[in-house]
Chains A and B, each alone.
Chain A
Amino acid sequence: MKTDVPHHSFWKRARAFAVELWDTLRRPSSVFSLGVLVLAGFVAGIIFWGGFNTALELTNTEPFCTTCHEMADNVFEELKVTVHYSNRSGVRAHCPDCHVPHEWTHKIVRKMQASKEIWAKIFGTIDTRDKFLDHRLALAINEWSRMKANDSLECRNCHSAESMDTTRQSPRAVDAHQRFLFTGMKTCIDCHKGIAHRLPDMRSVPEWQ
């Protein structure tokens, strides 16, 4: 059969290889025992799955985010002066704490959406400060609508309404939280915009001037 394969055509050779591979795959193994195959599959699975998740987690760190100057020079610099970076207790939020869902399926969905961000990186969509400021409203709306849709899940990963002791909050905060947060009328991001980065032009944003 192999000798029939003409040597001048790449596509024909490729097709013949695929056919032969398929033939091998659908025949039972004549060399390896079932135990070896199962065990090898198991070990390979651990390596592939572990490697995949390790790589995934590597892209889920602040040092990874700030390897791009678009992040390091704009949003990360702005974060540094806010309470989410520097505060009295030293507990701080890192980029993925707010910008990547913690739950696995949603995390994968967000990671797939991030392929668009790689496209933007390659073509320099926000590679200067001015370009970044031009896009800031659209970028902010992305994040606001995501948080609005999931009831500010990323906020609530740390800030739970149940654990909020309103007797330790300022009178204004108590009033707002009792009227809007605990009743479910509003979600965190409705009021707490611009708390970790500077705000875009807010004239077109509802409830702002």
Chain B
Amino acid sequence: MLLTVRKISRSFGGFELKNVSFDVQQGQYFVLLGASGVGKSVLLEIIAGLTHPDDGRIFLNGTNITSEKIQKRKIGMVFQSYTLFPHMKVYDNIAYPLRTGYTKHQIPKRVAKLAEDFGVTGLLKRKPQTLSGGESQRVSLARAVASEPRCLLLDEPISSLDAKSRPRMRALLRKINAKGQTIIHVTHDYIEAASLGTHIAVMEGGTIAQTGTVDDIFQHPKSEFIARFIGIRNFFKGNLEKPHLQAGLKQFRTDGLAFSVLTDSHAGNGFVCIRNEDVIIHNPSSTAEPTIAGNNFEGTIVDIVRFGPGIEVIINIGTNNLKTQKTANVNPLEIAALITAESAKALNLHCGKKVCISFKASSVKYVEE
């Protein structure tokens, strides 16, 4: 294990970190995902030695570094505000960590190589104040990598960049990680986390709510907060009933509707989430026959919005009768479906149109409360 964080606690200015523990292995791209103000940045500062914890311990390669001086830790940090030295040119910023460990002749070569790797060769003679956000971030990364850290900490490295610079920065971060650099990346953006991380720790209320691989987190969110935070749009609270359908299939009731759910969980209160890409839309005239294991509903389109590269269609299934679920209710219940623009056109979708939706029982994730 490269980095072990054990029961770190720190209270300050109205919020606190409570018993934060996680492990990071060599070469992992570990993302700390959480809302603003949850203490992610402070946790990074504690790992880097910039802030001391009230309690807990940090181990790097098995050595307790909780009280180790910042300059002895060999942990690089890229701050959200870049923290480039304003009185030094880009060259001197990148060369700063090289003054120890490299000879005078080696430094220019090393800076040139780093500048090339990070796409800042043309900026070496410029002052940080003249750089754009993306350029400053790349210089800051180059400088941190120049210090050859055992672990590289990144505090929201992408969120402050403009949309044009983001893909380049993501590609750069993947490249650094692919070379074996262990990275801990703090972000509030679940898309950023999913697109970069090999492992994710979701922070909630000053503690780690769930840790796992990207698939673990996105396929099996442990709580309502995590499900919502990682962008699952279709989220319904309700009650899981005792099985009376096929083996493993159970009924989940919410707001008068009932979903078929494939789960081993016991009956009780909980919530279900359905990813919007698992919801299929078809016209009512479609010949597709619903199955007993499936979830098939009729509804009315209430909104159509662009969602990343696709189209998200919001359908109210609460005010319509059901094809297979016989529960009658008139409460509005909206469900989001993600489809391609071509499908939206082919289906001739528009607000107010009646459509049918379906999703498999196995795509409904049930989480006990």
Query: Is chain B a partner of chain A in the same complex?
Result: no
